[in-house]
Amino acid sequence: MTAYYHNLFEEALKKDVIKTVMEMVDGDETTLSILQQEIRTLTPDFTETIIPIKKYIYRGDFTFSEHNCCARVWNEGYGGQCTRKKKNSSRICGKHQNMIDKYGELWLGYTTDDCPRNPVHPNGKVHQWRHHLKD
């Protein structure tokens, strides 16, 4: 990569990072000033290729399907409805029934109920939804 493009990418990346973080934290002028100082000192390295392991689907405005399992899924913090079919006369699929059998409940609840705030995974880790990060 030539120095010209390196600088071009670096500037675009820094602007993008600042914009993204500002939106995530709903930052004010002070946040912006701190971010700009912090980001300015960083030197991005464009030699490493990072291959995304997981793909998530933005399901923020998904429509509920009555044919599918009613369990809420994590979906990398974006939430959504389980895409498996309901099992027999149950309102959920076999996988989510197994979770109920094992843990006594669904840690993310049902899509027909309100979204739980700061849900706790059966492993004990507290999770935060992406749409709750701002408030």
Chain residues that interact with Zn ion, rule: CB under 5 A: 69, 71, 82, 84, 93, 96
For Zn ion, the closer CB: 40 or 102: 102
Q: State the nearest-atom distance from the C-beta of 78 to Zn ion, in Å.
A: 16
For Zn ion, the closer CB: 13 or 107: 107
Q: State the nearest-atom distance from the C-beta of 55 to Zn ion, in Å.
A: 18
Q: State the nearest-atom distance from the C-beta of 41 to Zn ion, in Å.
A: 46
Judged by DSSP in three states, 73 sits in: coil
Distances (CA, A) of 49 to 8, 44, 45, 134: 18, 12, 10, 30
Q: State the nearest-atom distance from the C-beta of 54 to Zn ion, in Å.
A: 18
Angle subtended by helix axes 29-40 and 3-25, to nearest 10: 150
For Zn ion, the closer CB: 18 or 69: 69
For Zn ion, the closer CB: 18 or 99: 99
Q: What is the DSSP string of 5-40?
A: HHHHHHHHHHHHHHHHHHHHHT--HHHHHHHHHHHH
